[in-house]
Amino acid sequence: MDLARADALAARSRLTARGWIPKNSESFRHIPPPALDVWLGDAADAPALGCDASPLAGAGWTLHPIGNSRQARVDAQWLDAADAAQRAELFANLALPGDGDAAPFAWAHRAAVRRGLRLRIGGAGRESGETVWLQLRHQPREAVESPMLVIEVAPNVRCVLIETHDHEHTACDHAIVQNLQVHLRLAQDATLQHLRIANPRADDRIAHHLHAQLDRGARYDQALIASGSRYHLQRSEVELHADRASARNASVLFAAGSVMEQQLRMSHAAADTRSSVDALVLASGRAQAVVNAHTRIAPGADEADVRQRLSGIPTSGQPRLVLRPHLEIHHDKVQAAHGATWGALPEDALFYAQQRGLDERRARGLIVEGMARAVLERCLDEPEVLQTLALDERLAAAAARHLASEEESVHG
């Protein structure tokens, strides 16, 4: 038996022995994930038809420059996980999943992954302090898939990255099941400003897991715009285990009669580390939406600075919103604050907008866009970045989809 096949079977064996995520799991108690057989493609309701999309049609990962960025600054490898040598390269220097609360997703991914992309940004012989602008687009290739992405950013390199997952605008007309694993490694004084867009179709079941490790002085900023589906999980785990490392996470989640969950884990284990979590969830109809943030400050993390701010707004109907900020502090010399707020769209702003001739839908759209922009701009706070990433246009499109879905649920 070849080594790639043996590794996949070993992962399945591990899942069989240890089991899937239990119903009493603290991290998943509000929205339990679908069963293991769904992610492995063994479920009875697995789609009979696959996407059958050719890589030449733009399926899988495609890499695009932004502006005048030179492709020579990026080393890209598209790797086949069924080939032993390529599989070893794909998983090189990545730890085994272990026994954490979300580890079963990672073991299921290891059992089912077929291909992945590995990027090395910057490196020997390239300019120190350079900025690389990139866009990554992912389009599904199969009805049940486990894509993988590994990004390594070299010392002193700054990268601005757009990562898009937009099933609505692909040739795949079937519902998909997707278990994505993303691994980020930022070397000393590297910076990654990362805009992620996840727009599944209503019947999709997707889980995106992002793992980031930051070296000394590294900085990671993630802005997320995501919409709900039959099941949609976005989970980020960031390790700040070297001094002066910093991370910011800002997200705007739209759930219109659908399911949306975000889990955020920040781990501080060194001095002068900083992290912030800022999330806004807008839900309507009978949606279920959860934001679960957990930040741990380990002993010895002198002068760690931690912030969490979670906000939820029902835009119509009777959605179920759960906001869970949590700080675990094991050191005295730190600064930490957290909070959660629920509210409604401001009636006075709606009134004034309508007084200026806007209909109710357009007025609501402008208010939603403004609130969302304020959240994301606290993370991506440089005008050049905001303009290049076309943040206003992306938020306007997401808000319009959300409000249109609201109206469909009311009239449908």
pLDDT digits (tens, 9 = 90+) for 360-389: 677 777 788 888 899 999 998 888 888 888
Tell me what pLDDT residue 112 has. 95
Res. 409: pLDDT tops 60:
no
Phi, psi of 106 (to 5 degrees): -70, -40
Section 93-105 average pLDDT: 94
Domain boundaries of the chain, sorted by first residue = 3-346
Res. 411: pLDDT tops 50:
no
Q: How many Å from the N-terminal Cα to the C-terminal Cα in the chain? A: 54
Determine contact, residues 344/314, Cβ cutoff 8 Å. yes
Tell me what pLDDT residue 390 has. 85
408 band by pLDDT with thresholds 50, 70 and 90: low
4 band by pLDDT with thresholds 50, 70 and 90: confident
57 band by pLDDT with thresholds 50, 70 and 90: low
167 band by pLDDT with thresholds 50, 70 and 90: confident
Q: Is the model more confident about 114 or about 365? A: 114
Q: Is the model more confident about 123 or about 397? A: 397
412 band by pLDDT with thresholds 50, 70 and 90: very low
Least confident of 13-17, 69-73, 328-332, 375-379: 69-73
Res. 1: pLDDT tops 60:
no
Mean pLDDT of the chain: 88
Tell me what pLDDT residue 365 has. 76
